[in-house]
């Protein structure tokens, strides 16, 4: 490590936190390296029980001026954005002067999919001298490994569904839509869009209950992977124990995620719930799947 890199590694790391437990896990892993960590928790999204274990500031969305000032006061230059966040409407945001100054860039950022939006926000931060990092750069072990997460393995039919799902996600990547699909017996049940993975799976469960899916339970696979060319510092797809529960409720055989390209929240619990539910969970090779 160069002297400059060593000096930077001793500076406080900023975590911009959305919802869920993952921001706390990343903060703990960062702190375990000896690096100071400061959480910038997004009001209305971040969980106080997660945030308040660490040094933190609460920042309302669209108060970029306040965020920038606090970042500089804390001496932070490296920034990680992590956690769940519902895409807001740009017209319902209460802006501070710092946000107004970059408003044309913000409005242009909203004219596209999530990857375009987040990459544009990253450019605004970089223009102010901050450096964006992916969560996996702070904690490489959060990425899904290749292979089974439990003991249950996919069938040959499941393997064919996984392959089709990966091809479909690669084909839809240029349109900057969702990062997950459900495929059963080479039939596409659902493609993720703005609703997110859990609600997509709930939709599959409803289709089964309504008789719109005639295939028996135990047929179908959730396939999840990052978009081709995605800025991997932001919004890497994530699965957690709740995802496994949703897969089971949807009557699927299991789930497959891009090894090295999907974040696992609570990996041991994912494996435990998959075993308990009788579904498989695994990491598979996919285009651009390496970190």
- Chain centroid to Cα 97, Å, comes to 30
Asked if residues 247 and 152 have their Cβ atoms less than 8 Å apart, the reply is: no
pLDDT digits (tens, 9 = 90+) for 192-221: 988 899 999 999 999 999 999 888 999 999
Q: What is the DSSP letter of 111?
A: S
Looking at residue 291, what is its pLDDT? 39
pLDDT digits (tens, 9 = 90+) for 139-194: 989 999 999 999 999 999 999 999 999 999 999 988 878 899 999 999 999 999 88
Domains 3-138 and 143-284 belong to one CATH topology? no
Q: What is the DSSP letter of 216?
A: P
Looking at residue 161, what is its pLDDT? 98
CA neighbours closer than 13 Å in the CB half-sphere of residue 42:
19
Q: Cα separation of 33 and 221, whole Å?
A: 37
Q: Cα separation of 136 and 281, whole Å?
A: 21
CA R_g for the chain: 20
pLDDT digits (tens, 9 = 90+) for 59-90: 887 788 888 899 999 999 999 988 876 665 55
Q: Cα separation of 90 and 94, whole Å?
A: 9
Could you tell me which of 255, 253, 261, 263 has the C-alpha nearest to residue 286?
Answer: 261
Could you tell me which of 64, 70, 8, 60 has the C-alpha nearest to residue 38?
Answer: 70
Q: Is residue 104's pLDDT more than 60?
A: no
pLDDT digits (tens, 9 = 90+) for 244-275: 999 999 999 999 999 999 999 999 999 999 99
Predicted confidence band at 286 (pLDDT cuts at 50, 70, 90)? Answer: confident
Q: Cα separation of 94 and 78, whole Å?
A: 26
Task: Please give the model's pTM, rounded to 2 decimal places.
Answer: 0.81
Burial (CB count <10 Å: 0-12, 13-18, 19+), residue 11: middle
Looking at residue 260, what is its pLDDT? 94
Residue 62 is encoded by which pair of tokens? Answer: 């669209």
Which residues make Cβ contacts (< 8 Å) with residue 92, sequence separation at least 6? none
In percent, the amount of the chain with pLDDT more than 90 equals 55
Domain at 3-138: CATH code: 3.40.50.20
Domain boundaries along the sequence of the chain: 3-138, 143-284
DSSP string, 184-204: ETTEEEEE--TT-HHHHHHHH
CATH superfamily of 143-284: LpxI C-terminal catalytic domain (3.40.140.80)
Q: Is residue 289's pLDDT more than 50?
A: no
Q: How many helices (H) and strands (E) does the chain have?
A: 12, 13
Query: What φ, ψ does residue 248 adopt, rounded to 5°?
Result: -65, -45
């Amino acid at each position: 490590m160069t002297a400059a890199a060593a000096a930077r590694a001793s500076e406080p790391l900023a975590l911009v936190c959305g919802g869920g437990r993952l921001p706390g896990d990343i903060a703990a892993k960062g702190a375990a390296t000896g690096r100071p960590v400061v959480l910038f928790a997004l009001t209305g999204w971040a969980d106080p029980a997660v945030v308040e274990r660490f040094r933190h500031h609460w920042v309302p969305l669209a108060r970029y001026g306040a965020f920038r000032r606090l970042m500089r006061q804390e001496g932070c230059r490296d920034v990680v954005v992590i956690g769940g966040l519902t895409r807001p409407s740009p017209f319902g945001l209460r802006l501070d002067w710092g946000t107004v100054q970059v408003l044309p860039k913000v409005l242009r950022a909203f004219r596209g999919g999530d990857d375009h939006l987040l990459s544009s926000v990253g450019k605004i931060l970089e223009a102010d001298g901050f450096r964006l990092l992916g969560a996996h750069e702070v904690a490489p072990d959060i990425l899904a490994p290749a292979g089974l997460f439990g003991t249950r393995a996919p069938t040959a039919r499941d393997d064919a569904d996984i392959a089709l799902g990966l091809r479909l996600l690669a084909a839809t990547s240029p349109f900057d839509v969702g990062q997950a699909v459900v495929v059963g017996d080479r039939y596409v049940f659902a493609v993720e869009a703005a609703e997110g993975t859990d609600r997509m799976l709930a939709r599959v469960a409803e289709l089964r209950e309504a008789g719109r899916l005639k295939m028996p339970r135990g047929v179908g696979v959730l396939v999840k992977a990052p978009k081709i060319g995605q800025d991997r510092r932001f919004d890497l797809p994530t699965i957690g124990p709740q995802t496994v529960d949703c897969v089971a409720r949807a009557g699927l055989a299991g789930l497959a995620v891009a090894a090295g390209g999907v974040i696992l929240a609570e990996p041991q619990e994912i494996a435990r719930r998959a075993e308990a539910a009788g579904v498989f969970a695994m990491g598979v090779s996919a285009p651009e799947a390496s970190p």
